[in-house]
Structures are given as structure tokens and as C-alpha cells.
Amino acid sequence: MEVRVGSVEDVRRDGCRTVEVNGRTVGVISVGEKFFAISDRCPHMGASLCRGSLGGTFVAARPHEYVYGKAGRVVRCPWHGWEFDVESGRSLLEPKRVGLKTYKVTQEDGEVVLHV
């Protein structure tokens, strides 16, 4: 099933746009030239992740070296700060145990299309 989310320009301007699909809320997130789609509900207590912040995090590096990475690809829950990678949907704290459902997103004829 395909869901038209809106024009590329509108979704980029919004940063994150939610759509209802089969009774579930999906957040479509704009990061630079790419779009990602995740379940919009935090698995902890159900907050809307699109109401949270989008940023980066520190990534693995050498001992005593701090490297900032994943810029614009980490969504943080507005209620308790749980963090998720928007590409994989995995939790940054417990990636093997906690995650979000992800969806494919494409651009067609100037529109953002969610594939579910």
C-alpha cells in the first residue's frame, strides 16, 4: 500500500509529518535530501516522537576521544529522552532489545510516498 504524505517541499519544511495508516501513527522525517519513516509512538510510554527533537549523538571512537555523528538521524522522545536511530529504528541505549518499526519512503513526482 502507498500513502501520499505531501509535497517534498512541505514535508521538508515541517521536518516531521505524521500520517495515520491502518490505525497506527507513522512519522515521516526529513533529513537533508532523504526521508525516513518510523512508528511515531515511543515504546516506553507512547509519546509522539515527532514532537521530540532530532539531532545526533556521540559515536564509537578511540579511548578518550569523543566524535559527534549521526547528525539529524537521532530522534529523542519528548517525555523521557529515549533515543532512536531514524534509519534502523533501533534504540541507541538497547539496540538489540528495543526499536521502532520502520517503513520505506520514496519521492515520486515531487511528492513523498510512504510504502506500508
Mapping DSSP to helix (H, G, I), strand (E, B) and coil, where does residue 50 land? Answer: helix
For 96, the domain range is: 2-115
**Farthest CA pair distance, the chain:** 48
The tally of domains found in the chain comes to: 1
| pTM for the full predicted model | 0.90
Report the distance separating Cα 71 and Cα 79, nearest Å.
Answer: 21
The CATH number of the domain where 82 resides is what?
Answer: 2.102.10.10
Task: Tell me the average confidence (pLDDT) per consecutive run of 10 residues in the chain, 116 residues long.
Answer: 96 96 96 96 96 91 88 95 96 94 97 97
